[in-house]
Amino acid sequence: MGKEPTGHYGYGYNLANWLADKGKDVVMVNPATTKRNKENRDNSPSKSDPKEALVIADMVSRGFYYDFARNAVVFQRLQTIMSDREFCVTNSVRLQNRIIRWLDMRFPEYYSVFKTGQTSDRWPRLRNFLFRKKLSCFPYRK
């Protein structure tokens, strides 16, 4: 089986490892070579799954590949941990941005009231004044 090692940590490595465990030959094709051959095939940079599969199969049949080198189990686990960490960090940043957006829409004066970003009493106060209805019961002072 020939595959192109693209995507985050080469998302097809699980399939390649499984096939290697079953005794099948697994080879890798250089993505840059695939791109050049794809453009040379029909003089078009268009991209489609059938076209890429044909180009990869053609490259494997002509011998433009290298053997799949399996990583040790420790490195496979490390790749999984790094992938999970990136997922968690991305979601954390997304959540922080949602909180900032929510504060900008619902409580625009929040950053002028709490000038330092790390005030310890800001979150309990925000919980108490979560809705404008609760804020409206307090007298407005100019």
* Residue 8, φ and ψ in degrees, nearest 5: -70, 115
Q: Is residue 128, in this structure, part of any structural domain at all?
A: yes
Of the pLDDT bands very low, low, confident and very high (cuts 50, 70, 90), residue 115 is low
Q: CA nearest 135: which of 106, 115, 112, 94? A: 106
For residue 126, pLDDT beyond 70: no
Number of structural domains (the chain) is 2
Give domain status of residue 98, yes or no: yes
Contacts 24+ apart (CB under 8 A), 94-103: none
For 72-106, the pLDDT digits (tens) are 888 878 888 998 999 999 999 999 899 889 888 87
Return the closest-CA partner of residue 71 out of 62, 79, 82, 63: 79
Q: Could you list the residue range(s) of the whole structural domain that residue 109 is in? A: 73-136
